[in-house]
Chains A and B, each alone.
Chain A
């Protein structure tokens, strides 16, 4: 027994676990990109562009007989992804900054004792529950009370407004990504050297100004890192968005004024879930893999960026 526990054996044995992790990542990259390749190569860069109706294109891909049809202009899906996750990150940045300042500086200890578990709870609620609340509570509420008949008629010839909308998607996505942003911001605000905040207080700045001009300023890289990591999460959120985004691929038009927020979106990840039934159909499945490849590349890139920023920050604070 004691002979087995020698460093010469244990070190490499444990190290192989780490290597396995790397192998899995390599495998993931290879498998996803290989499956996705036909869709990209058939369309070229136009894959990311606009043109035609993506609903019809996907339908054609689904039905095509060999030689397979791959023609797709995925811009409406990309646009929906950017709109919902971008919006959620912007709202989340405001909400998380205010909350983090509140937790670190202003909340009475009794409120902090409630708020910290609340943040962890919001992070832990499964996305299917957010989706359920969205589709059974928020969407009907929007449809019945907030979207007037005139509004529905005004865009009647382009899209049907059901309440499954950009607004609901963004709101729920904000709540889902805000906990991680708060956690990172609180972490960073707490590690701001007290000599800076004390120095500012001693100069006659009030506590709010100290948070704003000194602490948040010093914590800015962490806020950026939090936003980047949250964006990675938002891009990959599939189930909740699939539940509240309806089955139609549509690009909301900012020219529609406030109706814009009530128009439906279909982000990439949601489209994969919506189309999961047909994933065994070859060209269609490969198209879904192309969606996954786009999500994978962008969210992996974003999370490495966020991680690197946080790492540098930690070294700086120590």
Chain B
């Protein structure tokens, strides 16, 4: 009685046809194309997996802990050429330094473009200017830096030789030039965050009698913080991965050297290397010819890039959860 009293619950109907299964009836040409689409997608996954796995294997094979805290030495004997403490520190220095320059500049530019943008012609010019910088290869930026910072008046940024000749190469100069590479990424991400802020959020702030500037400071920037963080992480990845600028402007020493007398700043004013230039120098293309160490440093570099990638993902996902109204 009890089991039969209630009528059996009607089961939800099933879709009887599988929409993706319909390819079987396609003409041969379309089936071939579908196969090529799959092949392209899977090939990219395979390439990425191969790169990561290969670097992982080589990294595990050659990365010994003492490499991390030994300083590099110039020696033909590989067992005495040391590790890459200095390149690691160099990478950290230029990433932080470039970010310190690029973040305020980028955020300011983005805020000005989205919230003020007047006069219009200037805004449009700045907008395309950002695009120009984004499209300029780092090797061109490097040569620009070389020509610009070797001027007499800018000697304080780097070493000066006898007779006032400006060397024009230091980690500080690297930071300045590399900040240009991070700049478009920070501007782009910040603008995206500001543009996706609904109008009613701004209007609510204006309605409370706040000025535009106060609204930016108190409302918009906190809201766009995840986007700014994304832009910074992307920019850090770009800076950490750059080789050309550091190769030309880093001074070409594997060890960090100091220059000047102010502690802390003296490392920035000196020369040095980063993980990328260390890899380059130790590859067969450079002078070192120590592929094992190049592999180990490259593994570290790739790990850094992966972590930054992952951070970008996490920030993006986290901000989507917190700011539900953007969807």
Q: Which residues of A contact B (CB under 8 A)?
A: 2, 5-7, 9-11, 13-15, 17-22, 24-25, 27-28, 31-32, 34-35, 95, 98-99, 101-103, 106-108, 111, 114-115, 117-122, 124-129, 131-133, 135-137, 175, 178, 206-209, 212, 229, 232-233, 235-239, 242-243, 269, 272-273, 276, 279, 288-289, 292, 295-296, 299-300, 302-304, 306-307
Among residues of A, the one whose C-beta sits closest to the C-beta of B184 is A21
Q: Does B305 contact A (CB under 8 A)?
A: yes
Q: How far is the CA of A10 from the CA of B301 in the complex (A)?
A: 40
Q: Hey, which chain A residues are within 8 Å of B213, CB to CB?
A: 5-7, 9-11
Residues of B within 8 A of A208 (CB): 23, 26, 30, 33-34
Say yes or no: A133-B280 contact (C-beta < 8 A), given A208-B33, A295-B137, A304-B135. Answer: no
A189 to chain B, nearest CB (A): 12
Tell me whether B241 and A14 are in contact (CB under 8 A): no
Knowing A236-B136, A239-B247, A289-B143, the reply to whether A209 touches B30 (Cβ < 8 A) is yes
A113 CB, min distance to chain B CBs, angstroms? 11
Q: Does B100 contact A (CB under 8 A)?
A: no
- Are the CB atoms of B243 and A120 closer together than 8 Å? no
In the complex, besides A206-B30, A236-B140, 11 extra interface pairs with C-beta distance below 8 angstroms are: A18-B112, A22-B125, A25-B129, A114-B45, A124-B305, A129-B51, A137-B54, A208-B23, A209-B30, A279-B248, A288-B143
Most chain A CB inside 10 Å of its own CB: which residue of B25, B52, B285: B285
Q: Is B148 an interface residue (CB 8 A)?
A: yes
Residue numbers in A under 8 Å from B30 (CB-CB): 206, 208-209
Cα A17 to Cα B306 in complex, Å, equals: 31
**Interface pair B211/A292, CB less than 8 Å apart:** no
Q: A121-B306, A127-B243, A299-B137 are in contact. Are A17 and B105 (CB under 8 A)?
A: yes
Given contacts A11-B112, A212-B33, A239-B247, whether A206 and B22 have CB atoms under 8 Å apart is yes
In the bound assembly, the distance between CA atoms of A122 and B104 in angstroms comes to 28
CB contacts under 8 Å to A, within B19-66, are 20, 22-23, 25-26, 30, 33-34, 36-41, 43-45, 47-48, 51-52, 54-55
Q: Among the listed B25, B51, B216, which residue makes an inter-chain contact with A133, where contact means beta carbons less than 8 Å apart? A: B51
Residue with the greatest number of chain A CB neighbours at <10 A, chosen from B47, B141, B244 = B244
Residues of B within 8 A of A209 (CB): 30
- Interface contact A299-B244, CB-CB below 8 Å: no
Closest Cβ–Cβ distance, residue A216 to chain B (whole Å):
11
How many chain-B residues does the 8 Å CB contact rule pick out?
90
Please tell me if the beta carbons of B294 and A132 are within 8 angstroms of each other in the complex: yes
What residue of chain A has the Cβ atom nearest to residue B212's Cβ?
A7
Q: Which 5 A-B pairs have the closest CB atoms?
A: A236-B137, A303-B135, A126-B241, A14-B112, A18-B126
Per the bound structure, the CA–CA distance linking A19 and B105 in Å amounts to: 11
Nearest chain-A residue to B299 (Cβ)? A129
A115 touches B108 (CB 8 A): no
The 8 A CB mask of B82-118 against A (1 = contact, 0 = none) is 0000000000000000000000110011011101101
- Write the residues of chain B forming the contact surface with A, with a CB cutoff of 8 angstroms: 20, 22-23, 25-26, 30, 33-34, 36-41, 43-45, 47-48, 51-52, 54-55, 104-105, 108-109, 111-113, 115-116, 118, 122-123, 125-126, 128-141, 143-144, 146-148, 180, 183, 211-214, 216-217, 237, 240-244, 247-248, 276, 279-280, 283-285, 291, 294-295, 298, 301-302, 305-306, 308-309, 312-313
B280 touches A295 (CB 8 A): no
- What are 8 sample pairs from A and B whose C-beta atoms fall under 8 A apart? A5-B211, A20-B105, A98-B33, A124-B237, A129-B301, A131-B285, A178-B44, A292-B143
Given A14-B111, A296-B140, A303-B131: A117 touches B116 (CB 8 Å cut-off): no
- Find out whether the CB atom of B132 lies under 8 angstroms from the CB atom of A303: yes
By beta carbon, the residue of chain A nearest B302 is A129
Total contacts A-B at CB 8 Å = 260
| CB of B76 to closest CB in A, whole Å | 19
B31: nearest residue on chain A (CB-CB)?
A208
The complex places the Cα of A22 from the Cα of B134 at a distance, in Å, of 13
Docked Cα-Cα span, A300 to B135, in Å, equals 6
- Judge whether B139 and A269 touch: CB under 8 Å: yes
The docked-state distance in angstroms from the alpha carbon of A15 to that of B129 is 13
A105 CA / B124 CA spacing, docked (Å):
35
Residues of A with C-beta under 8 A to B276:
126, 128, 239
- B-side contacts of A10, CB under 8 Å: 212-213, 216
What is the bound-complex CA distance between A108 and B21, given in angstroms? 12
Closest to A305 in B: B135
Contact of A128 among B104, B134, B136, B243 (CB under 8 A): B243
- Taking the closest CB of chain B, its distance from the CB of A57, in whole angstroms, is 20
CB nearest neighbor in B for A301: B135
What residues of A have a CB within 8 angstroms of the CB of B180 in the complex?
24
A235–B131 touching, CB < 8 Å? no
CB < 8 Å neighbour of B291 from A136, A207, A229, A289: A136
Closest to B240 in A: A126
A6 and B144 contact, Cβ closer than 8 Å, known pairs A243-B285, A269-B139: no
* A206-B143 in contact given A21-B133, A239-B247 (Cβ < 8 Å): no
User: Which A residues are CB-close (under 8 A) to B44?
Assistant: 95, 99, 115, 118-119, 122, 178
A136 to chain B, nearest CB (A): 6
Per the bound structure, the CA–CA distance linking A242 and B276 in Å amounts to 14
Q: What's the minimum C-beta distance from B233 to chain A, rounded to whole angstroms?
A: 10
Partner of A22, one of B129, B135, B146, B216: B129
User: Quick check: B109 and A17 within 8 Å, CB to CB?
Assistant: yes
**How far apart are the CA atoms of A9 and B22 in the complex, in Å?**
63
* Contacts known (A126-B240, A208-B30); A304 close to B211, Cβ less than 8 A: no
When the two chains form their complex, are residues B141 and A28 in contact, meaning their CB atoms are under 8 A apart? yes
Interface pair B26/A206, CB less than 8 Å apart: yes
Q: Do the beta carbons of A31 and B279 come within 8 Å of each other?
A: no
Contact across chains for A131 and B283 when beta carbons are under 8 A apart: yes
Q: Which residues of B contact A31 (CB under 8 A)?
A: 144, 147-148
Smallest Cβ distance from B193 to chain A, in angstroms? 16
